[in-house]
Amino acid sequence: MTKKFANITFIDNRELYDEISAYGDALIDEATANGALAEPDADNEYTREIGRVGIMCADYESTYMAFQCLKFKTNFI
């Protein structure tokens, strides 16, 4: 596994977010193919890097992105 963005601790623009998000998706694909995610409680270099990248993306999303709330239709009305 080759780590990218090792010197990045936070995301402050959309271009960087897109790059790091794509990197996270590629890590998940690689880890799945290698069997590194086979066990739910696995602790390895893939899970740690996916967690680091995921936290940065989640922080960016909560700070800079506005999401619409989901609306569900219900039969009780």
DSSP 47-72: HHHHHHHHHHHHHHHHHH---PPP--
pLDDT in tens, 24-76: 999 999 999 999 999 989 999 999 999 999 999 999 999 998 877 777 777 76
Q: Are 50 and 30 in contact (CB under 8 A)?
A: no
pLDDT score of 30: 96
pLDDT score of 77: 58
pLDDT score of 76: 67
Q: How far apart are CA 31 and CA 13, in angstroms?
A: 27
Residue 15 has pLDDT above 90, yes or no: yes
C-alpha distances out from residue 60 to 10, 16, 26, 36, 40, Å: 8, 10, 19, 27, 26
pLDDT score of 17: 97
Q: How far apart are CA 73 and CA 77, in angstroms?
A: 9
